Amino acid sequence: MSLIPLRIGKLEVPLPIIQGGMAVRISLSPLAAAVANEGGIGLIGVSGMDVQEMVEEIRKAKWLSRGVIGINVMVAVSQFSELVKAAIREKIDLIVAGAGFSREAFGWAKEAGIPFIPIVSSLKAALLAERCGADAVIVEGKEAGGHLGTEKSLFSILPDIIKALKIPVIAAGGILKGKDIWRALSAGAKGVQIGTRFAASFESSAHKTWKETYLKARPEDIVLINSPVGMIGRAIRTLFVEEILKGKAPKPINYKRCVKCLKYCQKDYCIIDALTLAQQGDIERGLVFSGERVGEINEILPVKKIIKNLLAEVKIYQSGVNEVCQEG
H or E element that contains 102: none
* pTM (predicted TM-score): 0.93
Q: Distance between CA 79 and CA 47 in Å, rounded?
A: 9
Q: Are residues 239 and 115 in the same domain?
A: no
Q: Are residues 232 and 287 in the same domain?
A: yes
- Residue 259 or 273, more confident: 273
Q: Distance between CA 4 and CA 6 in Å, rounded?
A: 6
Q: Are residues 132 and 147 in the same domain?
A: yes
Q: Are residues 81 and 150 in the same domain?
A: yes
Q: Are residues 125 and 184 in the same domain?
A: yes
The reply to whether 318 falls in a domain is no
pLDDT band for 256, please (50, 70, 90 cuts).
low
Whether 324 has a pLDDT exceeding 50, the answer reads no
Q: Determine the pLDDT at residue 323.
A: 54
Q: Are residues 226 and 277 in the same domain?
A: yes
Q: Are residues 83 and 164 in the same domain?
A: yes
Q: What is the DSSP string of 148-185?
A: ES-SS-HHHHHHHHHHH-SS-EEEESS--SHHHHHHHH
Q: Are residues 285 and 224 in the same domain?
A: yes
Q: The CATH number of the domain where 73 resides is what?
A: 3.20.20.70
Whether 262 has a pLDDT exceeding 50, the answer reads yes
pLDDT digits (tens, 9 = 90+) for 174-224: 999 999 999 999 999 999 999 999 999 999 999 999 999 999 999 999 999
CB atoms within 10 A of CB 225: 20
What is the tally of structural domains in the chain?
2
Q: Are residues 139 and 281 in the same domain?
A: no
Domain limits at 244?
208-294
The reply to whether 3 falls in a domain is no
From 205, 230, 258, the end of a domain falls on 205
